[in-house]
Amino acid sequence: MLRRTGLLAAATALLVPAVAGTATADAKTRAPLVRSFAPKHVFVGESLSIRGRHFRRGVYKNTVAFKRRGAKVVLVRVKKGTSKLLKVELPKRLEKVLLVRNGTPVPTPLQVRVMSSRFGKRYTRRAKSPIVGPEKPPAPPKPKEADPKGDCDGDGQINKIDTDDDNDLLTDTLEKSHNLDGCKADTDGDGVEDGYEYQSARDLNDDEHENGNEYVPYPEKRPYPNALDGTDGATDHDGDDLNLLEEYQLWKVTLANGAPRTLSALGYSAGEQYSVNVRQGGSGLRVPTLPAGAYDKQNAFLSWASGAGYLNIGLSDVGGTFSMSDYSDVADWWQPRGTFEIRDIDRVGGPAGPEVTYYDDDRTGVLSDDERDEDADGLSNWAETRGCMTKPYWDELYDKETPYYLSYSGTQLDDPDTDGDGIRDGADDQDHDDVPNLMECSRVLASGLLNPDSPGLNDAPAGRPWKGFVNPFNPCLPHVKSRTCKRIIPMDDAWAPFNPKDEYYLIKN
């Protein structure tokens, strides 16, 4: 028995190095094969386990390639691995290949390929690849108990008696239950009050598919927007092209204009595209109720424009008619001008059709939060944050036109008179070409064409007239004879419409 045991032990001892040698040889001659990942959802800064075959055993013997279509491949060396298991730490630079929405990296499927002695034959299929998210923000410190004898919000009522110590519209008891700081109105420091984020999360989570729809509870396990996430201020949670911080700014404008400071029916909610709505009896569904045709902010702008002399304005023109061929009817800026209503964007004799409610982009007759104009300056919220009053809008939408050599500032979302000259932004003229910002916000409306394949607003002929080539960041568009369009054009570095390399060089000659 002892002799037999000794022989088995000796045989085992001989087999071990032989097997190990075979595995090592396989790793050197065969391409690595990836079989699975754990966890499937992982974040930058965390560790990703990769199981498979034919990896190289040892320190810094393997490299993992992460790929997303349209982005550069990122290579990450594996500190330590075995022939069947790699554990790779995801570095911060991996965020460069993640998809970006509203300026914030979002979880993205990344295909993986391992290089050991050889490169893996192919990347993993997208459906089987790990989903990598950006680095998680550090967890906020556990809030301290407020001093019972102190006064966090300075309202003259000590904390022991005050039920809302920091005046963020959440009770101290509620804040404590959600690990929020009862003595700090903005726990995560992102510039948005806790109460606003809390209510916006409730609005976003309030589903419409429940039969007999009622308000659902706060999504405690995953609040969105999140009063404990200091990085979500730039995120557009509800899809109305306004991010959390912008909607909070607009809500504060409503408070400054007399709206009650309450979390009930936020004037602008980061969880609703149409914050002005009512619930239908019976179904409980939310129905938008802010009409585009009788919008009080637009009426306020027109009333101001009438009193200030900016409702009917003088434009360099000849009788207000189109010239489809060339610039022959462009008058010098000191010549007599035609008179047009500021909403007569195509200059054919009075506002008509979509010009009357130009801010109602989708023509539904009711206004979403981005279509509204809370500061009543004649420009929609979207126009001032993502649209025509931002230079990137023109640079990206008309990338075949060389920008003007000077840079002009855009307008502010919550300030009706951004430059402080007493003229509301829609009637103001930031490039000083004597065409107000409002009239330079849309080439579609300015050209009189809803789209290239159909007749225009007032049956304008096919084609695009020179007056349709507006641009609030270029004083030479549409008027090459405006009082601020540079008189001497450089031959080697011209801008629209003088650059022969541009698609619309002198509006196609």
Write the secondary structure of 337-375 as one string of H (helix), E (strand) and C (coil). Answer: CEEEECCCCCCCCCCCHHHCCCCCCCCCCECCCCCCCCC
Establish if 152 belongs to a structural domain: no
Integer Cα distance of 372 and 354 in angstroms? 15
Establish if 155 belongs to a structural domain: no
Closest by CA to 345, choosing from 472, 248, 226, is 472
Closest by CA to 127, choosing from 139, 106, 151, 110, is 110
Whether the per-residue pLDDT at 261 is higher than 90: the answer is: yes
**Torsion region of 288: left, alpha or beta (phi above 0 gives left; psi -120 to 50 gives alpha):** beta
Handedness of CA 446, 476, 422, 254 (dihedral sign): positive
Per-residue pLDDT, 281? 81
User: How many distinct structural domains can be found in the chain?
Assistant: 3
Q: What SS3 state is found at 263?
A: coil
Place 282 in a pLDDT band, splitting at 50, 70 and 90.
confident
Which helix or strand (DSSP H or E) is residue 132 part of? strand 131-133
Place 322 in a pLDDT band, splitting at 50, 70 and 90.
very low
Distance separating the N- and C-terminal Cα atoms of the chain:
104
Give the domain-ending residue among 289, 307, 338: 289
- What's the chain's average pLDDT? 86
Whether the per-residue pLDDT at 218 is higher than 80: the answer is: yes
Place 509 in a pLDDT band, splitting at 50, 70 and 90.
low
Mark whether 167 and 217 lie in a shared domain.
Answer: yes
Pairing type for strands 41-43 and 131-133 reads parallel
Tokens read off for 176:
């404590």
Establish if 482 belongs to a structural domain: yes
Mark whether 263 and 321 lie in a shared domain.
Answer: no
Beta bridge partners of 262: none
Establish if 501 belongs to a structural domain: yes
Establish if 283 belongs to a structural domain: yes
pLDDT digits (tens, 9 = 90+) for 4-15: 545 444 444 434
CA atoms within 13 A on the CB side of 62: 32
Establish if 153 belongs to a structural domain: no
Please name the residue that has the structure tokens 């199981």.
51
Interval 496-500 mean pLDDT: 91
Closest by CA to 277, choosing from 245, 249, 244, 240, is 240
- What CATH number did the domain enclosing 122 receive? 2.60.40.10
Establish if 150 belongs to a structural domain: no
Per-residue pLDDT, 327? 57
Determine if the peptide bond prior to 478 is cis (ω within 30°). Answer: yes
Tokens read off for 508:
């196609």
Tokens read off for 319:
């009788």
Q: Are 478 and 435 in contact (CB under 8 A)?
A: yes
Pairing type for strands 277-279 and 286-288 reads antiparallel
Handedness of CA 15, 19, 24, 28 (dihedral sign): positive
Per-residue pLDDT, 93? 94
Integer Cα distance of 325 and 331 in angstroms? 15
pLDDT digits (tens, 9 = 90+) for 68-114: 988 899 999 999 899 999 999 999 999 999 988 767 788 899 999 99
Integer Cα distance of 6 and 11 in angstroms? 9
- In terms of C-beta density within 10 A (0-12 exposed, 13-18 middle, 19 or more buried), how is residue 452 classed? exposed
Neighbour count for residue 94 (Cβ, 10 Å): 20
Mark whether 225 and 310 lie in a shared domain.
Answer: no
Mark whether 334 and 413 lie in a shared domain.
Answer: yes
> What amino acid is encoded at 268 in this protein?
Y
Integer Cα distance of 505 and 123 in angstroms? 46
- Per DSSP (E only), the strands in 70-126 are 74-81, 85-89, 100-101, 104-105, 108-109, 111-115
Give the domain-ending residue among 270, 289, 308: 289
Mark whether 338 and 471 lie in a shared domain.
Answer: yes
Which helix or strand (DSSP H or E) is residue 198 part of? helix 194-205
- The DSSP output letter for 463 is S
Which helix or strand (DSSP H or E) is residue 33 part of? strand 33-38
Per-residue pLDDT, 329? 60
Whether the per-residue pLDDT at 355 is higher than 90: the answer is: yes
Mark whether 307 and 404 lie in a shared domain.
Answer: yes
Pairing type for strands 338-341 and 312-315 reads antiparallel
Interval 308-329 mean pLDDT: 68
Give the domain-ending residue among 269, 289, 309: 289
Mark whether 378 and 332 lie in a shared domain.
Answer: yes
Per-residue pLDDT, 139? 66
Give residue 33's domain range. Answer: 2-133
Mark whether 172 and 86 lie in a shared domain.
Answer: no
Mark whether 192 and 334 lie in a shared domain.
Answer: no
Query: What's the CA dihedral at 377, 241, 457, 477 to 10 degrees?
Result: 70
Mark whether 502 and 365 lie in a shared domain.
Answer: yes
Mark whether 273 and 310 lie in a shared domain.
Answer: no
- Per DSSP (E only), the strands in 270-337 are 277-279, 286-288, 312-315
Mark whether 280 and 311 lie in a shared domain.
Answer: no
Highest mean pLDDT among 219-228, 229-238, 369-378: 369-378
Output the pTM of the full model. 0.71
For 468, residues 6+ apart whose C-beta sits below 8 A from its C-beta are 346, 443, 446, 447, 448, 449, 478
Per-residue pLDDT, 321? 43
Establish if 115 belongs to a structural domain: yes
